[in-house]
Structure 1
Amino acid sequence: MSEKNQERKRTARERLQQERESEKARERRRRLLIVSAAVVAVLGLAAVVGVIAANSGKDDSGSDAGPLLAPAGVQGKDRLAIPVGASDAPSTLTVWEDFRCPACASFENGLRDAIHELEQAGRIKVEYHLATIIDGNMGGSGSLRAANAAACAQDAGKFAPYHDVLYQNQPPETDDAFAENSRLIELAGKVDGLDTPAFRSCVQEGRHDSWVDKSNTAFQNGGFRGTPTVLLNGESVFPQKGSEQISVANFKKWVEEANKGKKPGTQRSTPSPGSSSS
């Protein structure tokens, strides 16, 4: 074998050896990258879990009103609905209200008798949701204080009549009279059997303040334009329904149309609105 051939073979072996070493180096780098990526992924997951754990005990509403204590008998998503009427009524009226809201008082005072009539006949059930937007817009705490008092009335099985009394005695929007617990307790005297030590304690300590805050947050996140927001089986009843303006006659007609062929509800667990007010 000539020296020239030997040199070519030696060069080929050296080249093959270099390629093998290069491949080994590439494999070592690949493994290092995989391990490093895995470590980063684990640390990232740990960080996410840490954030979740850190936030899991926080009140999303940002309120410092204390532990969340829901009133008795509340229902629906996150237990934010106060139900009135037969649970098996064929139609549901969903009402989002603020006790300081003049438009809410106009709606309630204008349609109260019709709503009571239909509720008591088992044609509709009403689910009340409480908001406090006037406190935010005008300042003060009357929306919150009145909503807490109404929740205390719910504990006593007297929400509906007390709800009516609050709207019948609503102060002007700029007058934060409902911020005074003494006024709310005074108005409880208009509802038979409501003004008790238990009710007074509930009002004065703000027992349901955090629940009211949560309800108001749900309202703000719900995409509603304002209070009152009133839905019949999920469809807004005002300022108009189709081409028809809201009125007592139209409201009754809409309920009748929605209930066509359906039996009235009979399963009651809450008192009828207005039955205990004076």
Structure 2
Amino acid sequence: MRPSINTPFWGASACQLWASWPIGRCGYDLAMIIIKNALGIGAVVLSVGLVVLLLSGSFSGKPTASDSFTPVAPVYTPDAEFISGRGIGAVGAPVTLEVWTDFQCPICGIWANGSEPLLYEKYIKEGKLRIEQKFFAFLGEESFTSAVGAVCADKQDKFWAYHSYLYANQDGENEGAFSAPRLRILAEAAGLDLTAWDSCIADPAIRTEVEAESAAARAAGVAGTPTLKIGTWMQAGIPAEADIYKRIDDALKP
């Protein structure tokens, strides 16, 4: 099982869209982050054995997650008063941060479980920032079906509960962590009406919506996740802590 990381890792590279190798790149980036953070240095020399150990799950290509499991509780879920649709923070907040993510992307998990809660406490609860979530489902079928489920969760005003449960229960890319049965268990844990959710995810229009949103992201220049955007500034990956704070603070200036 992939290590659970609930503390913020600033300055992380994004899961990249590679024409020749779209699957597994996230596993490589996560391995680098774990090792660099553990050793406390900026440049790391990796042994082949250690890389293979950390990345073995990413390249297996075989579903390994059990369809019977008890979900891990979310690291955090925003308070209802700050939620509107796929956004958290006041609709009229002076700064809007757009974030493109893929539910299977482990760097997105680091963002959602570690970095985002800090922005929530520092800016969102103070009425200074709104974060809007957008999909770029590119890592495989489980990315796509997870996003479809999220659209349907949003229709029940449960997007953020679903979002938080999925990021708390990541376990590799395209290895069954977000299989249909497991997504249903996660949807139930998030408090969704499963009858309505089942009907929604079977609707071809919802799938078309996710496809269109991912295509629009690519057309807008998104090539990895997470990608962050404030005004004209856009960056793939998680910025250094001081950098993202400065971006927000500068945008708050009159």
- Taking structure 2 as the reference length, the TM-score comes to 0.59
Structure 2 partner of 1:254: 247
**Matching residue's letter, 1:111:** S
Return the alpha-carbon distance in structure 1 between the equivalents of residues 93 and 225 of structure 2: 25
Structure 2 partner of 1:109: 113
1:203 pairs with one of 191, 201, 204: 201
Check conservation: 1:105, 1:170, Cα contact below 8 A.
yes
Check conservation: 1:145, 1:206, Cα contact below 8 A.
no
The offset of 1:166, in angstroms, is 0.9
1:132 pairs with one of 137, 149, 163: 137
May I ask how many residue pairs the two structures share in their alignment? Answer: 169
Report the structure number with the largest CA radius of gyration. Answer: 1
Check conservation: 1:238, 1:246, Cα contact below 8 A.
no
Check conservation: 1:92, 1:232, Cα contact below 8 A.
yes
Alignment of structure 1 residues 153-172 onto 2, 5 Å: 153-172=153-172
Return the alpha-carbon distance in structure 2 between the equivalents of residues 239 and 207 of structure 1: 30
The offset of 1:161, in angstroms, is 2.2
Return the alpha-carbon distance in structure 1 between the equivalents of residues 94 and 107 of structure 2: 27
Alignment of structure 1 residues 1-278 onto 2, 5 Å: 82-117=86-121, 118-135=123-140, 141-178=141-178, 180-191=179-190, 193-205=191-203, 208-236=206-234, 246-247=240-241, 250-260=243-253
Structure 1 partner of 2:62: none
Return the alpha-carbon distance in structure 2 between the equivalents of residues 107 and 160 of structure 1: 14
> Structure 1 residues 204 and 124 mapped into 2: Cα distance closer, same or farther (>3 Å)?
same
CA deviation profile, 1:93-143 (whole Å, cap 9, x unmatched): 0111111112211222221212322223221112211112101xxxxx101
Return the alpha-carbon distance in structure 1 between the equivalents of residues 153 and 237 of structure 2: 30
> Structure 1 residues 246 and 253 mapped into 2: Cα distance closer, same or farther (>3 Å)?
same
The offset of 1:189, in angstroms, is 2.8
> Structure 1 residues 207 and 174 mapped into 2: Cα distance closer, same or farther (>3 Å)?
same
Return the alpha-carbon distance in structure 1 between the equivalents of residues 204 and 252 of structure 2: 39
- Structure 1 gap ranges (5+): 1-80, 136-140, 262-278
> Structure 1 residues 195 and 182 mapped into 2: Cα distance closer, same or farther (>3 Å)?
farther
Return the alpha-carbon distance in structure 1 between the equivalents of residues 101 and 237 of structure 2: 15
The offset of 1:206, in angstroms, is 5.7
Check conservation: 2:138, 2:144, Cα contact below 8 A.
no
Return the alpha-carbon distance in structure 2 between the equivalents of residues 235 and 152 of structure 1: 30
**Matching residue's letter, 1:215:** E
Structure 2 partner of 1:30: none
Return the alpha-carbon distance in structure 1 between the equivalents of residues 111 and 87 of structure 2: 18
Return the alpha-carbon distance in structure 2 between the equivalents of residues 239 and 143 of structure 1: 18
Check conservation: 1:94, 1:234, Cα contact below 8 A.
no
**Matching residue's letter, 1:122:** G
Return the alpha-carbon distance in structure 2 between the equivalents of residues 121 and 146 of structure 1: 31
Return the alpha-carbon distance in structure 2 between the equivalents of residues 217 and 130 of structure 1: 10
The offset of 1:227, in angstroms, is 1.3
**Aligned Cα root-mean-square deviation (Å):** 2.4
Name the SS of the counterpart of 1:134 in structure 2.
coil
Check conservation: 1:148, 1:206, Cα contact below 8 A.
no
Structure 1 partner of 2:72: none
- Taking structure 1 as the reference length, the TM-score comes to 0.55
Return the alpha-carbon distance in structure 2 between the equivalents of residues 170 and 219 of structure 1: 23
Check conservation: 2:105, 2:173, Cα contact below 8 A.
yes
Identity in percent? 33
